[in-house]
Structure 1
């Protein structure tokens, strides 16, 4: 059974996301809701809202494929089904390949909520949200960070050929301009980890490899971007593909900004002794006042408390 709360979060995220797509269809193919990228834009000359159907959003011949998958999932008592559809790009009226998961949200298995993403040829630095969240042990933490606008970017690593792939957003965060990205071809982002933290990061990666899939990676470290500016990041990662010998083939991860969290921790650490001393002074002052109220001096009152305890 799918987690309905997570589906709703993804549905809301898809409405504003530049990566995710969202559409809700009834059993007749009528669009009940969608994000702005689905269907034709309303005309200024439309005096009332016109109904939008499947054929307004996707290649019309895909409807039979959609219905076939829907009925197959319904008869198999599945909660959702996967399908690839050709989305119509308005107003150009050309098509883009997309992949969807449709969830049944009505008892008659007629109304479906779909969450999709574009299917494009893999390019350098093309790593997306959907890829990482699929089966991720950190999906709720990552989604919370994304909704709080703390996303730095995504990364992927092939241990066999020791090759990194990162998202354009992360490349820009590290200080690389568009032209540099094209010229370099591949950016080894881990060289931007602070030397002291790089040792710990390497140890945690090796520890993850020793526990196939059961110990996902979660680690804080400092990033040194171009220009020698330092910022704190939290990496969430896990191996998503293993060979027959249990060796990792592909690691996917996401980086979130934790600068504010580290600033708060540093403030508390720096003020720890001050706060401890302040608490002691306040406690001592309070004991003295109570002693005066009871008619004892501080020493007699302390002795009395010790005796009673």
Structure 2
């Protein structure tokens, strides 16, 4: 992803999304461009030409960490580097932890474009994700909510040259070392897709191409990193370059880890079927046995019995009726909880996480 056009497409994420942050820094730490979430808010009396620097946006002590990572990436010929920074919140003056990936965009490796996002404690499992890149005006919200620290990274695919590029963060998630990312000309993230999920992914990507990008590429699927631990991801893609004949040339996208959400969904499915079976067992088996006991007691009552036996039989009868009432109440609660759970159709994907 050395071309400025592709990196500029990624910076578009921060411009139209409340979740992502964006900043461009030169080698002195001066802010060249940024979104509204970075830096102090100017007042009426401020000089509009007054420059903003790194220390106006992040803790000054973070500069050494930033420079260390930048120089390390430069010496090792890396295309980008990742790090966590403590962003200053203006005008309140508080601090929020953020995670960034910086891309080199100048020949001297001094100017870097950074795309970041906050690291928050709450993990919203209800992900509402908009289209990845608005093909029309660019004003639409791209990513409304994302799991904390679960943006795995960016990817780019050149369909004419058949070459892949993956960001450093995505490469590390897939289990590649820094040396492998540096020496390998092309590492394909598609090679890590679980085979059962591959055809559906290709179908959605083909639909994206056939509609000339009007239908964005968005798909949930499983991946197997080199560690062999299967994860669920939500993949987004957008074609950013087309040939004169209308064929796709270059596609960029990002992957989000949704494994925790899928674990919750699988647990809800299992709980759903457990409650269903429980209600059936209570209704048809347990209550039937209680009815049998009451029937036997009625037969015994027709026979001559001692006063003590009649007293004990009446106690058993009363307890059996109370048990039947308790079962009816339990069945009603189980059915209600089952209805409150999300509806899972029988053909719904039952893939596990392992």
Q: TM-score with structure 2 length normalisation?
A: 0.47
The 4+ residue runs of structure 1 with deviation greater than 4 A are: 6-13, 15-21, 26-29, 33-36, 38-43, 126-130, 136-141, 280-286
In structure 2, the residue matched to 1:145 is 146
Distance in 1 (CA, whole Å) between partners of 2:18 and 2:213 is 28
Residue 40 to residue 267, structure 1, CA distance change in 2 (3 Å): closer
Q: CA deviation at 1:271?
A: 3.3
Number of residue-to-residue matches in the alignment:
212
Distance in 1 (CA, whole Å) between partners of 2:270 and 2:244 is 50
Work out which of the residue numbers 93, 97, 105 in structure 2 matches 1:120: 105
Q: TM-score with structure 1 length normalisation?
A: 0.53
The aligned runs of 1:244-263 (5 Å cut-off) are: 244-263=244-263
The aligned runs of 1:102-117 (5 Å cut-off) are: none
Gaps of 5+ in 2: 1-12, 26-32, 61-66, 68-101, 117-130, 291-320, 323-354
Distance in 1 (CA, whole Å) between partners of 2:133 and 2:180 is 31
RMSD (CA atoms): 4.8
Work out which of the residue numbers 21, 25, 32 in structure 2 matches 1:14: 21
Distance in 1 (CA, whole Å) between partners of 2:42 and 2:239 is 35
Question: Which structure features the higher share of strand residues?
Answer: 1
The aligned runs of 1:283-294 (5 Å cut-off) are: none
Q: Aligned with 1:227: secondary structure?
A: coil
Q: CA deviation at 1:153?
A: 0.8
Q: Aligned with 1:245: secondary structure?
A: coil
Q: Which is greater in Rg?
A: 2
8 A contact 1:152–1:170 mirrored in 2: yes
8 A contact 2:151–2:257 mirrored in 1: yes
In structure 1, the residue matched to 2:163 is 163
8 A contact 1:127–1:165 mirrored in 2: no
Q: Aligned with 2:199: secondary structure?
A: helix
In structure 1, the residue matched to 2:190 is 190
Distance in 2 (CA, whole Å) between partners of 1:220 and 1:171 is 19
Q: Aligned with 2:134: secondary structure?
A: coil
Gaps of 5+ in 1: 1-5, 44-88, 90-116, 294-309
Q: Aligned with 1:229: secondary structure?
A: coil
In structure 2, the residue matched to 1:172 is 172
Residue 249 to residue 182, structure 1, CA distance change in 2 (3 Å): same
